Amino acid sequence: MTGSAPPVVSEADRLAAIDAAIRIIPDFPQPGILFRDITPMIGHGALFADAVAVLVERARRFEPDVIVAVESRGFLFGAPVALALGIGLVPVRKPGKLPADTHGVDYGLEYGRDRLEIHVDAVEQQARVLLIDDLLATGGTVNAAAELVRRAGGDPVGALFLIELAALGGRAPIEAQGIACDALLVY
């Protein structure tokens, strides 16, 4: 018998396996937070590859010119998606991490406040930007990243996540800005 085709695995089956590998840790990083730990999933090569493959397929729908990935776990998914699509990657970082002139914005988190920055010349004018992060909670981080993209001259057309915590309502404020959202796993 000469080379049989590999079995076709549906997106639903891939997502079920990815979901099963995500560890739940209560009260981290502080009491009342139910943390979804992706490290077991990304530590498993085939599951990590499946997550990236599904993200790539979902990313194509947005027809992005560039990926903007949010520090730090967004980098884990944004980089391979950008490579697979043959487009660039722009990092959005915490203060003091980018060496050239930056735009910055302060924003609220599920459990505090923070600041993000982007290089002022990171995005071409009117570029279609897909924002990628690992988690959508309240939407504060991605809304801040979208504001940075706009300040840099880009057009944030979509936001893509591995996980969405639906009860925290983060999708609504993002979509209110005209940014389409998608997540592989919704809890």
Which residues are the active-site residues?
73, 110
Using DSSP, state whether 162 is helix, strand or coil: strand
Q: 135 to each of 20, 65, 87, 119, 181, how far by Cα in Å? A: 17, 22, 22, 23, 12
Q: How many residues does the chain have?
A: 187
Taking the C-alpha atoms of residue 161 and residue 76, their distance in angstroms, rounded to an integer, is 11
Peptide bond into 72 cis (omega under 30): yes
DSSP E strand boundaries for the chain: 23-26, 34-37, 66-70, 88-92, 102-109, 112-119, 128-136, 155-164, 180-186
